[in-house]
Amino acid sequence: MDCLTLKKSNCKNCYKCIRHCPVKSIRFSGNQAYIIGNECILCGQCFVVCPQDAKQIVDETEKAKVLLQSGDPVYVSLAPSFAANYEGVGIGAMRDAIKQLGFADAEETAVGATIVKREYDRMVNEDNMDIIISSCCHSINLLIQKYFPKELPYLANVLSPMQAHCTDIKKRHPNAKTVFIGPCVAKKDEAAHYEGIVDAVLTFDELTRWLKSENIELKQEMDSDDNSKARFFPTTGGILKTMVKDNPSYTYMALDGVQNCIEALRDIENGKIHNCFIEMSACVGSCVGGPVMEKFHRSPVRDYMSVANFAGKNDFDVAQPDSLSVKKTFTVIERKLQPPSETEITEILRQMGKTKPSDELNCGSCGYDTCREKAVAIYQGKAEISMCLPYLKDKAESFSDTIVRNTPNGLIVLNEKLEVQQINKAALKIMNLRSASDILGDQVVRVLEPKYFMQVLSSGRNIHNKRMYLAEYEKYVEQTIVYDKDYRLLVCIMRDVTDEETVREQKESISRQTVEIADKVVDKQMRIVQEIASLLGETAAETKIALSKLKESISDE
């Protein structure tokens, strides 16, 4: 059953879920996380740690409402961890509120826990098993079925308290339907897989929302029952607290947290553990630390005290059924992904930029403990090369460094104190500096006029392509100064335009000379014109006088 779903829009590619997944049953594709159903043990850690609430638990409230409308009486099996989730509320107050929703009645799952613990005691004393592992936690059962199949013979073939209680309810009320309410995601899968025992599963969060929608308030009323020792079940070591433990040849121990259980299962697999009863819980703190404890916070001491103060000293008064009626069968659940060869792992590591063992940082930022585990996940289609943050960082730095090194423009990066943080070779050449160490960390005033940097910093207005002359270096540059508010840095880009400026000045000089020569030629031509005009004027006057005299002479004759 797909008990956990994903809101794709909220998945921000942070890899927090895979870092906290004890069996790495999450794959990434297109920067989105997907839960691998046949590998998941439904511990709910991805739901707990997701910072974007991208993981959602399938809500069965509507399913429970349909059961209520069926006409058959519907009974609630309420997990004993409710005492920690609903602080100050006893079973009487819980029963009253649940009955207002339309349920026939509400009973404690701890009744079924009493049946289970008695069967555990019988197995310890009669079955002569080398190792017995409790089967109350469905996530642990899935862990063994999927990852440690050789240890299945050690898993107690007994119904869980939820199943034992719901079976008991249906035995007492033949037409009854049952709904389990607790802090666990895995119970939804357990109920779906073993059909006919539990008809629906709600979390405490779903119950709270339902009560709120019906304006039903839980009364702060506590009650007590000395015959309620099995209420200890949802705490670490709680199963052992209720057991008789009268077989001295057994060692009794309690483990919580998937990783601790994995290490113990490895020891069992390697033949290092014998003659013991092991209580295993996937959640740290057992069920009171479950993924859907409505408060969504870790209060291990207070939660334990809430349960311990509510629990009695004796067993619930319940008839013990025969062993066959509480027997449960576990089968191996195959995982189909094949491991890659050493050559394929080496090739994937090479693609990740890891060509030698020293390159394998095993930092865990991708969610996998080692780079080799990550390479295996890439081969199996569960991970992407881009999930390796050191690889991405080195790639980005290499790319940006290549640009900075090879750009012909000078680049200088300053902090808000106008101290040089970075400088490239082109800038060093412009300012006749031998190496970056000559200026890094020093004030920019040592090499450049700080006025424009201060202007940009105070006004917030960037300067673009301002041409200026650096007299100290006898160079012309086009200077762009940009202030990055996010990183609080000033970036100065200088383009050396000295050659352009020299060519421009040469052109201006030639233009001036051309104008001067043209002026001189015009002046000379004008003088010549004036001289010619003067000579022509004198000749014309003489000619006029001569012709006048000739005219007078002719007239006299």
Per-residue model confidence as pLDDT tens digits over 349-381 = 888 878 888 877 888 777 788 888 888 888 888
- Which pLDDT does position 396 carry in this prediction? 62
Is the pLDDT score of 141 beyond 80? Answer: yes
- Which pLDDT does position 518 carry in this prediction? 80
**CA-to-CA distance for 537 and 50, rounded, in angstroms?**
109
Q: Would you call 402 helix, strand, or coil by DSSP? A: helix
- Which pLDDT does position 487 carry in this prediction? 82
Among 174, 197, 189, 279, which residue's Cα sits nearest to residue 233?
279
Per-residue model confidence as pLDDT tens digits over 94-120 = 999 999 999 999 999 999 999 999 999
End-to-end CA distance of the chain: 149
**CA-to-CA distance for 108 and 118, rounded, in angstroms?**
17
Question: Residue 494 corresponds to which tokens in the numbers above?
Answer: 């200088």
Question: Residue 393 corresponds to which tokens in the numbers above?
Answer: 């960082």
What is this structure's pTM? 0.73
- Which pLDDT does position 188 carry in this prediction? 96
Among 115, 75, 74, which residue's Cα sits nearest to residue 325?
115
Among 294, 284, 228, 289, which residue's Cα sits nearest to residue 261?
284
Among 421, 28, 44, 91, which residue's Cα sits nearest to residue 230?
91
Section 178-200 average pLDDT? 96
**CA-to-CA distance for 475 and 417, rounded, in angstroms?**
26
Let me know: does 264 contact 350? Beta carbons within 8 Å: no
Let me know: does 353 contact 394? Beta carbons within 8 Å: yes
- Percentage of the residues of the chain whose pLDDT score is greater than 70: 96
Let me know: does 77 contact 178? Beta carbons within 8 Å: yes
Is the pLDDT score of 391 beyond 80? Answer: no
**CA-to-CA distance for 204 and 295, rounded, in angstroms?**
9
- Where does the pLDDT of residue 397 fall: very low under 50, low under 70, confident under 90, or very high at 90 and above? low
**CA-to-CA distance for 346 and 356, rounded, in angstroms?**
9
- Where does the pLDDT of residue 79 fall: very low under 50, low under 70, confident under 90, or very high at 90 and above? very high
- Which pLDDT does position 124 carry in this prediction? 95
**CA-to-CA distance for 429 and 460, rounded, in angstroms?**
29
- Where does the pLDDT of residue 415 fall: very low under 50, low under 70, confident under 90, or very high at 90 and above? very high
- Where does the pLDDT of residue 62 fall: very low under 50, low under 70, confident under 90, or very high at 90 and above? very high
Let me know: does 28 contact 34? Beta carbons within 8 Å: yes
Section 6-20 average pLDDT? 81
**Helices vs strands, H then E, count in the chain:** 19, 16
Is the pLDDT score of 1 beyond 80? Answer: no
Beta bridge partners of 274: none
User: What are the Cα distances from residue 483, in Å, to 329, 417, 465?
Assistant: 68, 13, 15
Is the pLDDT score of 298 beyond 80? Answer: no
- Which pLDDT does position 10 carry in this prediction? 74
**CA-to-CA distance for 66 and 71, rounded, in angstroms?**
10
Helices marked H in 409-497? 425-430, 451-459
- Which pLDDT does position 75 carry in this prediction? 98
Per-residue model confidence as pLDDT tens digits over 236-253 = 999 999 999 989 999 999
**CA-to-CA distance for 54 and 45, rounded, in angstroms?**
13
Question: Residue 170 corresponds to which tokens in the numbers above?
Answer: 């249906």
217: alpha, beta or left, given left = phi > 0 and alpha = psi -120 to 50? Answer: beta
- Where does the pLDDT of residue 263 fall: very low under 50, low under 70, confident under 90, or very high at 90 and above? very high
- Which pLDDT does position 297 carry in this prediction? 61
Give the length of the chain. Answer: 557
Is the pLDDT score of 445 beyond 90? Answer: yes
Average pLDDT of the chain, as a whole number: 89
- Which pLDDT does position 318 carry in this prediction? 94
Per-residue model confidence as pLDDT tens digits over 15-35 = 888 889 999 998 887 778 888
- Where does the pLDDT of residue 193 fall: very low under 50, low under 70, confident under 90, or very high at 90 and above? very high
User: What are the Cα distances from residue 548, in Å, to 273, 523, 538, 555?
Assistant: 153, 37, 15, 10
Let me know: does 109 contact 180? Beta carbons within 8 Å: yes
- Where does the pLDDT of residue 217 fall: very low under 50, low under 70, confident under 90, or very high at 90 and above? very high
Beta bridge partners of 6: 55
Q: Would you call 289 helix, strand, or coil by DSSP? A: helix
Residue 433 neighbours by CB under 8 Å, 6+ apart: 423, 427, 439, 447
